[in-house]
Amino acid sequence: MKSILAEAQRGVITPFAWSQTLLAFDFDGTLAPIVDDPPKAAMRASTRGLLARAAALYPCVVISGRALSDVSKRVKGLGLKGVIGNHGVEPWRATKQIHRRVQDWRPLFSQVLQREPGVMIEDKTYSLAIHFRRSRAKKRVRDLVMKVAAELEDVRVIGGIEVVNVVPADAPHKGIALERERARLRCDTAIYVGDDQTDEDVFALDQPGRLLGIRVGRKASSRAEFCLPSQADIDALIRILIGLRAKWTRLGDLIAAVEHAP
């Protein structure tokens, strides 16, 4: 994977920054550092400020695995054009049928995991996230989760960074969410930044020239061609995008002035 921050990649970013492009970001591990206690996740002040500046120049959205109500409050006031929750389910497919299915699953996982210290089952209404970052028996916990999931129907299990996401198999994923937002906002191209397995649904769209997928952290198996070396580098990427857009805007103003000169 090639670092998108390398000077050699400016020629890759520039056509996107100078087009009608959508900027889309995952939240945890991308805009915000991964933390031991998920409810405490938050963007650094520098990232918030840069994202607000970017949102004034580009249409920006966040597509998160968190519940819509949860992630919305974490990005409030930044001028985003959209916030998508539950890996793409909310707001379009937040149905009673999906809710009931997830509620039927929760007690099955609770029963198996209740004696496993350091495990937290996060009920996001339309999906479950089983966190085991604090567990001392991570492999056993993951195996137990996979065993329960294997006995369920119409379920999709998506791994993450010390978390397992359990979602309805027919629910929309992040790739579908990105395409919906791009169409809704009438954008020709998109840049998407994400950090784990749920984001591979976007990277797998494989649309050269129309989609620039950037993974946080190098991973040989990722479908993303480019990466950010670490989550801390998100600020550098946003600064580059701001600078390129501002340059494009100034260039457009200069051309318009010349065209209208007497």
Q: What CATH number is given to the structural domain containing 163?
A: 3.30.70.1020
Statement to judge: residues 115 and 53 lie in one domain: no
* Residue that terminates a domain, selected from 136, 168, 200: 168
Each residue of 179-193: pLDDT tens digit?
A: 999 999 999 999 999
User: With bands split at pLDDT 50, 70 and 90, how would you rate the model's confidence at 38?
Assistant: confident
- Whether the CB-CB separation of 118 and 134 falls below 8 Å is answered with yes
Statement to judge: residues 180 and 233 lie in one domain: yes
| Concatenated DSSP letters of 44-79 | -HHHHHHHHHHHTTS-EEEE-SS-HHHHHHHSTTS-
Q: What CATH number is given to the structural domain containing 34?
A: 3.40.50.1000
If we measure between CA atoms, which residue out of 85, 233, 104, 246 comes closest to residue 173? 85
Each residue of 43-65: pLDDT tens digit?
A: 999 999 999 999 999 999 999 99
If we measure between CA atoms, which residue out of 191, 160, 119 comes closest to residue 29? 160
Statement to judge: residues 164 and 188 lie in one domain: no
Catalytic positions, please? 26
Q: Higher-confidence residue: 84 or 35? A: 84
* Residue that terminates a domain, selected from 110, 143, 168: 168
Statement to judge: residues 10 and 29 lie in one domain: yes
Residue 133 structural domain: 96-168
- Whether the CB-CB separation of 226 and 9 falls below 8 Å is answered with yes
User: With bands split at pLDDT 50, 70 and 90, how would you rate the model's confidence at 146?
Assistant: very high
Statement to judge: residues 55 and 85 lie in one domain: yes
What is the pTM (predicted TM-score) of this model?
Answer: 0.89
